[in-house]
Structure 1
Amino acid sequence: MLAENRNSTALSLISIYEISKILSSSLHLEKTLRDVLNVLSSYLQMRHGMISLVGDGGALDVVAASGLSPAAIRKMGGSLEKSAAGQVLSSGMPIVIPDLRDEPGLQYEGWLDDTLDGEAISFIGVPIKTTDKPFGVLSIDRVFDAARKDVSYEADVRFLSMVANLIGQTVRMHQHVASERERLIEEQHRLQKALVVQREQAQQRVGLDNIIGVSRRMQDVYAEIHQIAPSRSTVLLRGESGTGKELIARAIHCLSTRKDGPFIKLNCAALPETLLESELFGHEKGAFTGATAERKGRFELANHGTLFLDEIGEISPSFQAKLLRVLQESEFERVGGNKTIRTDVRLIAATNRNLEAMVANGEFRADLYYRINVVPVFLPPLRERKEDIPMLVEHFIRRFNQENARHVNVSEEAMQVLLNCYFPGNVRELENCVNRVATMSRGDVVRDVDLPCQRNLCLSAQLWKHSSNTFRQPEPALANIDERDEDAGDDLFFEEGQGLTQRDRLLRAMEKAGWVQAKAARLLGLTPRQIGYALKKYNIEVKRL
């Protein structure tokens, strides 16, 4: 008897060892559990075996079975809760049924069909759990001689409980791994979506990184750029000299579907007509004196890309006709050649001229005007976006320091003076001003007294003072000025000169006009409403003569 117990214990240890190896050998849970049932079949001489787990819906589902056909498993799928396994799950305790025929309500369909006379089927079920409530059942049935009364189930229950504990730990580990895998997959998807969004945003920002400006006027320009860039439409950039038309043209190209194509630029005002034709259309060898080799023109080089023609209002009427043909037909011939070359080019033109007045005066062809003025974009002068001046100054100072290995800064007083300047040359003039004062500064801080305009040495002010051009805000912009805006007088005057402040100039104009606001407005090139704003801003009381 002692030897039999020893053999049984040894066999149990061997079986536990084999089952533990199986449970740790694979991440395929169902296959692993089927292999465990196969080991139990050989050790316990069981007839049927099942491992059932609580599914996502809370029902008990068979995940592994031994000795049962798939059809039999499907039949018992909906009745497990009312079976013996269901009672094990609900009670959380092992259940032993010596003869299933004595418990018809707990039988599994088909389990007794092949039972021989004189045989009894015993059911043993143990809960699968870790530290929480049971989440599964390990159940087997064994065939006994119905006449035997000395059958003991204690060792089987103890053995199956140990196996169920191992299964419980393995199932929890698999569930944890699956949960972590799902979390990682979700995190990966989230990061991928975030990356896609970042790439889309980066693609939208491509080409705008070199454009500095957070003002409302520039935000409107950015919105227009994003709207028109994906199309093939010709763009005409309008604005004063120095407003950054070339940067905007490059931004449109970088945001367009042609971003992988070439971006070719040409300043039409920099070349005489003969050279301009060669630059745009190219020439054949020997076409003229000095043409020692064949050369491709800008239209040909910009094929499948973008061609930017700056200062297009400066080209002669005769060349305007040649340019119009290329834009209409998308074909041209090189200078001195007779071969027609087709090209696929998106044109972006720019000008600071009043093309409408030029068309009216016969200086610019109306048909070419309509051809290039498909989508106009108006770039605001710097005086209409003064909130961008500090950012521009910091950018130019930072670049100056990098190029010259210095550590120059601009004081708040000097920044305030720059904010009140008129800058008829716009961003280009501001850049030159910053570089000039940074170069001439003896220390590392640029103060207000270092600025040329504070010493009546601003060459730009003198230049524009004697110019016939009068730079003032256009009437449509004046119509949008809110009378409640107390800062509306900030942008109304030219750069200070001759030692006079803006308040002094306003007083002098009012005195010269006999304190008539309309006449003073004409003297200063402003509107009466703007004069009224300025008088209120500088707290000037109008005299009654």
Structure 2
Amino acid sequence: MTSGEERRIQELELLYKISSILNQSLDFETVAHPVLQTVESVMDVEHATLTLYNRHTGEISIEIAEGLSSRQASKGRYKVGEGITGRVVETGKPIIIPSVAKDPDFLDRTGRGKTEDKAFLCVPIIMEQEVVGALSADEHNPDEANLNDQIHLLEIIAQMLATAVKLRRQAREENEILKAENERMAMELKARFQPDNIIGKTPEMQQVYTQIDQVAKSPLPALIVGEVGTGKGLVAEAIHFRSDRNLGPFVRVHCAALPESVLDRELFGSEKGALVGVVNEAPGRVEQAEGGTLFLDEVAELTPNLQIKLLRLLQQGEMERVGARFPKKVNVRVICATTKNLQQMVSDGTFREDLYYQLHIVPIYVPPLRKRRTDIVLLADYFVDHYCRLVGKNVRRLARGTIEMLMSYPWPGNVRELENAIERAVLLTEEDVIYPHHFPPTIQTDETSGTPVSGNLKLMVEAYERDIICDALKSSKGKMAAAARSLSTTPRILTYKIKQLGIDLTAFSK
């Protein structure tokens, strides 16, 4: 048997082996290494390498390479037309480099070495007339007479690999698109819930922002304390979306809204047949928050039994469904909120002390609105703009009397009460200015609004006239003619009213 015949038999055996590997699976991860190892052993080459061409980035990168470290492989990146591999992908034609030391186009980015006794063979991987990647290998002390045979054999192998490589490239590109979309959504969510967008510039709120940043970086449980309506849920969302769990779910549970038996199933789920009428297993909110954040609002309302279950979740990272025989490990970050004094509840024996210390690591105190009065107008303007867009109205501003009223009112319901009051005012007003009488009677009092709501008719009319004239002067920056036009009257009558009501005109011309 001649050497040529022996070579042909070896080639057929190689192709048969590769065909057998590919028949087992078209999964790239499964077949790539065995194929490249077979190529190296039969063809007496080394550093057999598969590169993929990414159509979206225009980059060619090493996907799998025999004999290269991951660091070396990560350096094997090329633009189309760059280096030998780039030229092969660009032209769709194979290239033989008999001696890499003598060819300046051989870039050696992976650091394999440019020696005179080493040849480099590279062929395109083509699927449906489209180059999807390249197959390459090094050959030491090559017989130049056989290099054409070697490159032809690599072309056949590349064609056999084409389907698997194309599927791999498609999966990678889809994964990159999905990753980019996730990153974009994460950035949008982060911008939406970042502390800068929690309205408030007072020192008290600046401290809250600082704590949000500190707590967001930690995987530990967090506790948010504040009165009803102060925005504890918004703080919890900000922590979640600024943490490394921002791509995971944010699951909210109100602990005071459900009785213990229902809340137990709601939180921890139930097994099939655990209860009468339960025919399927039902994962709870804890499992739904896997990889993300579980927000427990009004945690002080948990019963002793549920406090024990929550403590187990915090300490051991595991939970147990209703009716389950074994616990289940979960990866969940817990944030709790309360309006109650948990320390007092511990002293009273209604809240577990060990659970209190698990939660009370870095508590965040959200101040009530009465302690951040300079934020009231900022919040009111935001809510006016929000509800105007919602109902299609064009309210330009709050009347001066309205601002004085809002600043004087104690706001026992905090930001939530302010939002509801502004929503009502936007709905009721038929003008482009919101006045005190657009607000609920509970807010309209002599002490808070400065506008009498009962008593002497003359005083009530004067207060109303003073309010609308001041608003007109404010809009016109003290220009009498413009203010008179906006009120559909004459400058002479307006001047008379200003003097009668004792309005200081100079205050509006500054």
TM-score, length of structure 1 as denominator length: 0.46
The TM-score with structure 2 as length reference comes to: 0.49
